[in-house]
Structure 1
Amino acid sequence: MHIDGHSPLLTDLHCHSTASDGGLSPASVVARASENGVGVLALTDHDTIAGMGEAREAAVADGMHLVSGVELSCLWRGQTIHVVALDFDPDEPGFLQVLEGQESVRHQRAGTIDERLRKQGLPSVLEQARDLAAGVPGRPHFARALVDAGVVAGERQAFQRYLGTGKVGDVATCWPELAVVVGWIREAGGIPVLAHPRRYGLTNNKLRKLVQAFQDAGGQALEVLSGGHSPQDSGYLTRLCLDGGLWASGGSDFHWPERPWSELGRLPDLPAGPDPVWRHFRWETQARLQGE
């Protein structure tokens, strides 16, 4: 995904590291992105910016522009939805307090997952999952820990038996409401982006209602391009942007090198029509991009 048709600069505004549920360290994510030609990157770990310092150091060394990012969990009509925050002030005290609260919820969830697994007669793998995560463990870390403990043959089997949707390790979490999360992002000077809108299993009618609720709350952009989205998905989301005057964003949602459909930087250019989200980054970010 290029900044524009005249620039070789590739952009990826959604990816993950070991600070949440990714498979590479923040520095390794930056290195891989750089190898793939990415010049503008947002590391958007789930509910934490713990990897941002390491990523920033690596980005400076590689001559890459790192945009502040995080993927926040929230609820809309009882369903978990993700909103990516871009280009916010990472030192804003109120937002840091918000992230501490989100992290606390994830720690509690991890403890509940481990407790439920133990009640099924499985060994405790919470500490192993924490070690793998280098932060707050999620279900992928529990899956790997169960493999290492010899409980299952592979991570896929861990999800099929214990961690997938509807299984014992699928713990419902009481996240804040969509409007609250969008408000937090705006207060920190960031841009709220509705992440991978086609992955929530919503009908077109319900998706339009979600987008309207997001926009009513102050949401500003849709992730038109995402790893796993089809061209038809991107076309429909482009129309939603145009209908509502929303900006367009895109990111691979990279987690693991073994997932070729979500490789860093491997996205088509944004469809014509909606304004690209990066045109609305804060002036200091814009100045860096225009210096290319």
Structure 2
Amino acid sequence: MKPDLHCHSYYSDGAHSPDFLCRRAIENGVTHLAITDHDCIEALIKPMDDCYEIQIITGVEISCEWETQEIHLVGLCIEHENSQLISLLKQQQRARYSRMQAMDELLVKNGINGLQDYLNRLPCKAFTRSHVADFLLSSGKVKNKQKAFKQFLGKRGKAYVPFQWQSMVRAIKTVQAASGIAVIAHPGRYPLSRLKLELLINQFKQMGGDAIEVSYGSVQPKMQKKLENLAEKHSLYVSVGSDFHNVEAHWTDIGKYPQVSSSSIKNAIWNHPRWHPL
């Protein structure tokens, strides 16, 4: 079994179609694939013609908040037609679009027009600041995406619009109401101290969370070991995924992430009682 339980299509901030992701996964020897787009499940609704050779795991990645910190919660094995889940995702999508409109107004004040037209041409259902960065880059306003965030989209940027996400506990309960498994995505990426990271994991467990991602495309060996230890300490399942977005991002690819230790693999998420491929 070779799963990849975290990747993105062009329905959120990925660059490729769900069919492309399936073909890439098959080429890379992946047996189980979850397309976990940000706050949308469009990839699960549209037919995927090239996925017949692979087991599809239903998934989504919900943006939420814990102690003012944005956290990403992956939901796996979800019933994607669940009304509670659909309601939350629609609310998130509307809020994201409203944020884009507010950013557009700030960009116009800075002499930059065309963001709304750019966004309307995309298949995306859940817009992110990364889309705005792509717009600024493609329109020649910045030299790279890093400059876009520094000048416009970061907290001190000219077009930054603050945002309040759903609470982490609501995200967990919504995933589980849809019969899904709630997973903290890439825990080592958040700007948290060692003590804060452990507090996050501890409170996630107390809220009823199921698993944490211990291996992902950018994880370092020291952090992976720490996450595996935290999962064991708090009796959480372990999950894995590349967090693949784009073939041009050479730091990751579908099915490419560090191997999980033999001691942790016994608590792999595919041993969870709610685990079920399509």
Name the TM-score class by shorter chain.
Answer: over 0.9
The residue number in structure 2 matching 1:226 is 216
The residue number in structure 2 matching 1:17 is 9
2: CA distance, partners of 1:135 / 1:179: 24
The within-5 A match list for 1:1-292 is 3=1, 10-54=2-46, 56-60=48-52, 63-274=53-264, 275-280=267-272, 282=274, 284-285=276-277
User: Is residue 93–residue 125 contact of structure 2 (8 Å, CA) maintained in 1?
Assistant: no
Paired residue type of 1:231 = P
**Larger mean Cα displacement after TM superposition, 266-275 or 20-29:** 266-275
Q: Secondary structure at the match of 2:72?
A: strand
Paired residue type of 2:43 = G
> In the TM superposition, what is the alpha-carbon distance from 1:100 to its structure 2 partner?
1.0
In structure 1, list runs of 5 or more residues that go unmatched: 4-9
Q: Secondary structure at the match of 1:232?
A: helix
Identify if the C-alpha distance between structure 1 residues 283 and 180 changes in structure 2 by more than 3 Å, giving closer, same or farther.
closer
Give aligned pairs, total. Answer: 276
Identify if the C-alpha distance between structure 1 residues 241 and 40 changes in structure 2 by more than 3 Å, giving closer, same or farther.
same
User: Is residue 87–residue 281 contact of structure 1 (8 Å, CA) maintained in 2?
Assistant: no
User: Is residue 129–residue 144 contact of structure 1 (8 Å, CA) maintained in 2?
Assistant: no
**Larger mean Cα displacement after TM superposition, 151-160 or 242-251:** 151-160
In structure 2, list runs of 5 or more residues that go unmatched: none
User: Is residue 252–residue 264 contact of structure 1 (8 Å, CA) maintained in 2?
Assistant: yes
1: CA distance, partners of 2:66 / 2:124: 30
1: CA distance, partners of 2:13 / 2:110: 24
Identify if the C-alpha distance between structure 1 residues 122 and 202 changes in structure 2 by more than 3 Å, giving closer, same or farther.
same
Q: Secondary structure at the match of 2:121?
A: helix
> In the TM superposition, what is the alpha-carbon distance from 1:163 to its structure 2 partner?
2.2
Identify if the C-alpha distance between structure 1 residues 182 and 226 changes in structure 2 by more than 3 Å, giving closer, same or farther.
same
Q: Which has the higher contact order (CA 8 A, sep 6+)?
A: 2
Paired residue type of 1:120 = N
> In the TM superposition, what is the alpha-carbon distance from 1:159 to its structure 2 partner?
2.7
Root mean square deviation of aligned Cα: 1.8
Identify if the C-alpha distance between structure 1 residues 247 and 55 changes in structure 2 by more than 3 Å, giving closer, same or farther.
farther
Identify if the C-alpha distance between structure 1 residues 20 and 55 changes in structure 2 by more than 3 Å, giving closer, same or farther.
farther
Scaled by the length of structure 2, what TM-score is found?
Answer: 0.93
